[in-house]
Amino acid sequence: SQQGEEDPQALSIQEGENATMNCSYKTSINNLQWYRQNSGRGLVHLILIRSNEREKHSGRLRVTLDTSKKSSSLLITASRAADTASYFCATDGGYSTLTFGKGTMLLVSP
Amino acid sequence: GAGVSQSPSNKVTEKGKDVELRCDPISGHTALYWYRQRLGQGLEFLIYFQGNSAPDKSGLPSDRFSAERTGESVSTLTIQRTQQEDSAVYLCASSFSAALSTDTQYFGPGTRLTVL
């Protein structure tokens, strides 16, 4: 089964609004990463948060991690049409590979 | 190179034929990963290399799938006797090492495989 599960599966918002995506996982992790995928091709790494961190910022991105609830959230503030993409969380689960969720499809309309 | 490259970008083949997919990682990256992504799905881990050896082959779906890496550089993923369920985008990624607590995986653009 998937280690990371994102919700919602799809999210549609207007430019300027904030977008929040959530990720839940099952086993202990060393870190959790968020990736973006445009048009079903290569993924781009957005941000990594370690298991001993609770919050991390990068530009318009804010990631939180709650290891007690085994969940993370990705907030994109002041969204733009160019943010339209699929967003995946990935966990290492203590192994040397990443396990990805099914992703959240974000559509930002002008 | 500047990034991870994969070839071909698209491959259409007939059921039963063999295909070879190629990945060129970022120079100096010792770890290389193969994933499969079916339409509308997340990434499914297939195999990873540390150097030229593959410590974890657990994700390979069947014995029709194999991969090799030479010179700690290029890797090829071979699918023999392709089936329609093999249709997917095959993504390759590389990282400086396999120490995931600090290393980011950099992805190639993928190869879209269609088996008719």
List, for residues A69-109, the tens digit of each pLDDT value. 999 999 999 999 999 999 999 988 656 678 888 899 999 99
In this structure, the number of other CB atoms found within 10 A of the CB of residue B88 comes to 19
* pLDDT at res. B72: 83
* pLDDT at res. B94: 93
CB contact, 8 Å: B74 with chain A?
no
CB contact, 8 Å: B88 with chain A?
no
Q: Which of A31-45, B41-55, B90-104 has the lowest mean pLDDT?
A: B90-104
Fill in the DSSP letter of residue A68.
T
Q: What is the CA radius of gyration of chain B?
A: 13
CA-nearest residue to B112 within chain A is A41
Chain centroid to CA A67: 15
pLDDT higher than threshold 60 for residue B1: no
Query: Does B2 or A59 have the greater pLDDT score?
Result: A59
CA-nearest residue to B105 within chain A is A45
Contacts of B10 in chain A (CB under 8 A): none
Chain centroid to CA A47: 9
Query: Does A46 or B41 have the greater pLDDT score?
Result: A46
* pLDDT at res. A6: 79
CA-nearest residue to B90 within chain A is A41
pLDDT band at B71 (very low <50, low <70, confident <90, very high): confident
* pLDDT at res. A2: 39
CB–CB contact B104 A98 (8 Å): no
Selecting from A4, A42, A101 the residue whose C-beta is nearest the C-beta of B110 gives: A42
pLDDT higher than threshold 80 for residue B86: yes
3-class DSSP state for residue B109?
A: coil
Fill in the DSSP letter of residue B4.
-
